[in-house]
Amino acid sequence: MFRLLFVLFIIIPIIEISVLMQVGAVLGVWPTIAIVIFTAWLGAKYVRQQGLSTLNSVQTKMAQGQMPSDEIVTGLMLLVAGVFLVTPGFVTDFLGLSLLIPAVRNGIVGSVKAQLNTRGANGQHFQFHTHNQEQSQNDFSEPQESPFQEHIQSPHKGKTLDGEFERKD
């Protein structure tokens, strides 16, 4: 963790300052500042646009009863892209703009999913429960087993009713 913080707070700013100085020497001070401001504005615009699209996709999958795992990772990458783009400098702008490219994001999502699957195979796994519409239409029938609930044993299996109540005083 110390190495990561060292890189983030010491090495990256040194690289950014050196690149800004070199570009400023070639283009001049004002064009360099204008480019940094333009890339921050352009990046913020695209992060907002793609973030809203990702949010709509999350809401659609949640309404269908599906787990929006890809969209959650995409949303986190868009957040990182926004931080990179707001940070002044060409290196962080390049990293932020590269995260806005869907092909790059999809590659990272694939590697994150592969990493999570590897951890799941090693005995470290996540457990989540889903509730789909078919199940809610058959609330009084025998509950169907989910593949994620194979190891859960309940003494009251099939005897639980879902319902609402209203207190009337």
What pLDDT, in 10s, does the model give residues 100-114?
888 998 888 888 888
CB 57 within 8 A of CB 71: yes
Give the residue with greater pLDDT, 146 vs 5: 5
What is the pLDDT, as a whole number, of residue 158? 60
pTM value > 0.95? no
What is the pLDDT, as a whole number, of residue 23? 93
pLDDT tens digits for 111-162? 888 887 766 555 554 454 455 555 444 445 455 555 544 445 555 556 666 6
Instruction: Parse the chain into domains and list their residue ranges.
Output: 30-118
SS3 content of the chain, % helix, strand, coil (to 5): 70, 0, 30
- State how far the Cα of 22 lies from the Cα of 119, in Å rounded to an integer: 44
What is the pLDDT, as a whole number, of residue 34? 92
pLDDT tens digits for 58-97? 888 888 888 887 888 888 888 888 888 888 889 998 988 8
DSSP 9: I
* First-residue to last-residue Cα distance in the chain: 57
What is the pLDDT, as a whole number, of residue 32? 92
